[in-house]
Each structure stands twice: as C-alpha cells, then as structure tokens.
Structure 1
Amino acid sequence: MIKWGIIGLGNIAQRFAKSLSYSNEGKLYAIASRTKEKCDAFQERYRCEKIYEDYEELLKDEEIDSVYIALPHGFHKYWSIEALKHNKAVLCEKPVGLNAGEMEEIKNAALLNNTFFMEAMKTRFIQLIHEIKKIIKNKEIGEIESIEANFCSHVKEIKEGSYLLDKNQGGALLDVGIYPLSFVIDMIDSEVKKVNANMEINEAGVDSYFKAILTFENGVIGIIEGAFDRDKERTAIIKGTKGYIEIPIYNRPSIAKIYINGEEPYTIEEELEFDDMYAEIKEVHKCLKASRLQSEYMSLDESLRVMKVLDEVKKASNFN
C-alpha cells in the first residue's frame, strides 16, 4: 500500500483526496497545512493518520512514500525539490513551475536523488486521449494541419490576495493556459519553431486573457487560448487533410466525434474511471510499483518541453 502525504489543502487537494479514496493501491496517510482549522476540517472529511502544521515535518515522516504538492504555483518548485531531497515520490500540480528554469531545477533534483517525479497534467492519462492519439497515428483524418484548444471561463469574483492576481505566479496563462498548451503539444510529434501571441493585462497587472499561435517544425499550426474574464465553449478541434476530430471538454473528455470527408461522422466514448484525477493517481502507483523514476506520458523532459513553449508565449506577447 502506497502511503500519500498532501501538502496544501485547498479545493484541488480535496478533489485529490476523494479520487485517492477509490484506489486499492494507495491511501491518504498524512496532510499538512499551516492553518490548523484547515487541517482539522480536511481530516474530518478525508480520514488520515497524521496531521502536520509544518510541511518539512511531513516530509520527515518515514512512513510516507509519495507526496502530492497542491500549493499555489509559486511554491511548486521549492516544495517539490524538498520532497525529492527526502526521497519522496512527487506528484506536483500543474503548472510544474513558473518557467522552464524552475522545471530544470526539479528535473536535476529528481535525477540527483533518484526519485520519481511527475506533473499532475491529468489529461495526459485519460483513456480517451490515448484513443484519439491512435486515430491520429493511423492517419484516419489524414495529415494533421492544425489543432485548436481553449480554456476560457469567467471567474466573477476573485478573492483579494488570491494567487491568481499575484504578478509573480498569477494570470491566465499559468493557471488555465497550461491545459490547452500541454494538450496541443501532446498531439503533435514535432517541436515549436515560432510563436505569435498577445495578452490582455487587467488592473492587477496579470494576464486575464491570452491567445497564441504556435507554428511547429512539421508545419502544423497550434492555436491556444485562455482566460478567466470571459466564457467560451471549451472544445478542442484537430483538423487533418481527410477530416477532423471534435473533443468537448478536452481536459477531461469522455466523448469525441470524428468527421471523415465523405463519410458519416462517428463517435467514440470512454467514461472516466471514477473521475478525472484517478488516472494520474493510478499512473503514479503503476510507476512506483515498477520502480520507474518518471512516466512515459508525462516525463521530466515533456514537462520541460511544455514550460519552454510557455516561456516563448510570454516572450512573444511582451509580458514578463
């Protein structure tokens, strides 16, 4: 049984704890927050054996095998590296850091300490995504020409002091843009050679909206868009020379529609196993049981690849 510790007890940590409860291979063992009230409320809802009000104390607990980092973006690098130094396998919430340089540091720490690390980019592990990639590989819709994905929603009230409005770690690109960016990069077996981008900056000084066009070396065009100040139907469209694939709610998909020129469209469906986070937890358990140091679906280099393009989007939009 793999014993988990959670650092940071916000909403995403609650979803993780619920998803972990479905597993027969792992269990929640310990939690850590600097707010006692949060610890008590979390422990009452998601039973665990240990409560820590100090993150370092949790990492010193020799009973813990794996740690889930659920802190705001700006703390991901530091606490991931600290966990790796304590030889705890790490599942870190996305984005893995604030830039590619931070991911380089995490990669070096993982390799130096010979310890597992994975970014919690849940979409990479969902079964329907694997089925879509097979369709692309088999060229059912021909040669890929473009992929478009967005993650736009209107967050009507953002609490004062929220990390979303922090100039260092906030903004739409880091918070929601990582979804369409990682999705597009996952679908295209080529490197990005050119980035055009624009951002809209709000009164807090962070990007509330962005749009970027990525030109890949093989000629494929990727279009990504993200916002927390406007709504848009969350869909991904993969266009090929023979047809296209439409994926509603592509970040946690259970259905996709395939349109092939001159034929009746057909639908593929694959229900999520329990929920949209369970597959990534299952992947960690699978890797740890096989003594792997990284996942083939979200390797250290793949997280680094995504962060390098994210940096280029920032640079192209003249926002740093």
Structure 2
Amino acid sequence: MSTTLPPTSAPSSGSGPETTPGTAGDARGGGSLWHEAYLRLRRNPAAIAGAVIVVIFVLIALLAPVLAPYGGDDLPGRQYITPTRIPGFGEIDGFPLGLDRFGGDVLSKLIWGARASLLIGIVSTALGLAGGMLLGLLAGGFGGWVDSIIMRVVDVLLSVPNLLLAVSIAAVLGQGSAAVMIAIGASQVPIFARLLRASMLSQRGADYVLAARTLGLSPGRITISHLLPNSIGPVIVQATLTLATAVIDAAALSFLGLGGGRPETAEWGRMLTYAQNELAVAPQLAFLPGICIAITALGFTLLGESLRESLDPKTRSV
C-alpha cells in the first residue's frame, strides 16, 4: 500500500514519467497489452471477417481509378436509356451490372462511391474524435465547475438522436460534402467526450497516478503524460465502431438531399436517392448500394466489437 519508490529510482533523478510504474511510458507494459489484444484478435473469427471486409473496402476506395472502368461522373451508356427501360445485369456488353437512369455504369459508381464514403467516414470521425477528446480532456483533467459545464452541454447534445442532430447541423450549414463531414463529426463529439472523461476519472486513483504525485509532477503533466495515454484505449475502440455509423449517416444525409453534388455523382446514398423512382423498372439500382453500405458497416462493427472485447480486462486472460 505504500507509495514509496524503490531505492534505485528515488534518489537518482526527479524525472518521473520514464521510471513510474504502470504509466504509458513503460513500453514493456503497454506493449504487452496491445500485443495480447493482437493475439486475441488473430484467434477471433469475427475480427478476421471484419478486418477482411474493411481491407477490401479500403483497397477498393484507394484503387478506384484503376478498378473502375469509367469515371464517377461519366455517362457512357446514355444512348441505351429509354423512359421505360434501364439495362440491367449483363444486358449490354461492357456494363456487367447495368446502367442507372442517367446512363452511368453502375459498377463504376459503386467503386467510386466507396471512395466517397470512406473519405466522409474518416474525416467526420476524425473531427468528432478531436472535438470529443478536447472536451473530455478538459472535463476529466480539470474537474469541478469546468467538468460540470462541459458535461451539461454534452448531456443536452446526447438527448438528441445522433442522426437528427447531424441532419439539423447539415441543414444549417447547407449542402455539400464539407457540410456533411462537419455535421456527422459534430454529432459524434458528445460520445467521445463522455467516454474519455469516464475513462480518465476511473484512472485517477490508480497507483501510477499516486506515484507521479509523489514525484511532485504537476497536475497538468500527470493528465497529459499519464492519464490521457492510459485512458485513450476505449476511445480508439469507439472510433472504429463510429466509422460504421459515419458511413451510414453519410448515406442517410445524401439520401435526404443534404450531400450536394450533381444527381449523377457517384455516392452510395445519392444512388439510393435516385433509385427510388426506378424500383419497378430496375430494383438493382437500390439493392446494390444498399448492400455495399450494409457490408461496409458490418465490417467496421465486427472489427470494433472484437477490438473492444480484446482490450476489456474482464475478458482478457491474466
């Protein structure tokens, strides 16, 4: 129970973070945690399935210029479109998945739509993560009235459904991809803020924090150098899970007409929007982007849940 440091480290130097046991600066301890999580992920079929889906999705998005037969906005099949007929699977050579109402190649639009969804998901999650970590760090680090004010604001934001909050923000900012990214990111800020604050509060009474105080470190240095690195694990896991909802929210905002861009622009949510009027003639125009959205969200969800379980001390092997 004593917080007295061993004789080998106490009289030598007052520099604490490298010699303080249990901190993030202890590379061996931190490495063993993540290494053990990695080993558990390798043995988890759900994690492997999620990782495979995510890797395929990312590769398709990055290699879209190489994989797609046509550009995202190209309309190579306009001459084949009539008011009563939209060519479907394999009906025309060169268009294996058929054409859409505007004459665009469906396969190319699905591939380019993966890039658009990935960009929106990553940027919006990064914005939400940055804003949430800032608020959570202030609330968990300072406490007192700062914590009370920030958490009351967060509670108000959490009382509004995530998608409704994103729609409201996007409606105020106007149409466009930038507005969608900001809206989705802002709707995620309360989740990250509350999670980081709770994680930091649970770490405050840990032995390594008491040891750091014994060394005379300032509260600010303890928060930044010790509390934050040891509390960020659950936030990283949540960011992985949030990528799934970000892809779905981006499609929903585009479906509602808030994504901006031209009607023929390749984006999964926009493809769903303009496929509604063609369900009787070409139902595949709605099914294909919907399946892509569902599979992508499933991949991020499986990977995030598996990562959460592998880092959970209740399920980790001792």
Q: Name the structure, 1 or 2, with higher relative contact order (CA <8 Å, separation 6+).
A: 2
TM-score norm. by structure 1 comes to 0.21
> Could you say which structure has the larger radius of gyration?
2
